[in-house]
Structure 1
Amino acid sequence: MTDPVDIVAGVLMVAGALLSLGAAIGLLRFPDLLTRMHAATKPQVLGSLLLLTALGLELRSWELVPLLVVAWIFQLLTVPVSAHMVGRAGYRTKHVDKTALTVDELDDVVARVERAEEEELEA
């Protein structure tokens, strides 16, 4: 007879793999930087959580749980920061379609920085 924990772990593995696959497909298929960035971060973090949870259930070792938690926290902390940096770099290099933005909060900040850089070069 199949152990219920194995079934739950299998379902979590399949769900995590599908979310990761969805992230990869979105990364390839979405048209612009911001939607690709969204596809690369949101489902990937949840997919990694599901896969790490499945791994913890399947191995049935309490000693492994802190390592899995640290791995997921590392993902949770680094993925948004890297997406933020990619988004700002894309914005500054004009790879973001500003017509698709509802609110452009960076426009004033970037204009101010560019003016300061120009003034610094003139001085």
Structure 2
Amino acid sequence: MQSRLLIPIVLILLLIDAPARAEEESLRSVRQLTNEIYRLSLDMITHGSEGHHHEIVSYGQEMIRRSEALIQEVESSPSPKIKEKKETLLTSINATLNKAKEAVRLGEAEKTDPALDASRKASFRAKQLRQQIQSLK
């Protein structure tokens, strides 16, 4: 008799807890992507300052892919914290994305110094974005 009563109670508790877990997982995914974008921007600067324009391109392309994934994640996030700041976050992500694209374009043209400068700007934007995401609690 007790097991018959226990199963529906457990199922109800799981159904109640599932949306909270989805929100938490979404926020964790956004934070992880933001940290990866920031790390990639630092790698662009590190290798670009050594004169490796091809490294700026490769890390920049990966940064662009992660930024596009972050846009998708923010747009589809069920988290009320993210929904509240959605427009601000998307603006910051797009600014970071544009700077990364500029760095890649200049790196592909083998203009190392301008590409490095654009990488620094992309890194600054990525750092600001990371701080915005970390402030969501």
The TM-score, its normalising length taken from structure 2, stands at: 0.42
The TM-score, its normalising length taken from structure 1, stands at: 0.46
Greater relative contact order, per chain length (Cα 8 Å cut-off, separation 6+): 2
Structure (1 or 2) with the greater helix fraction: 2
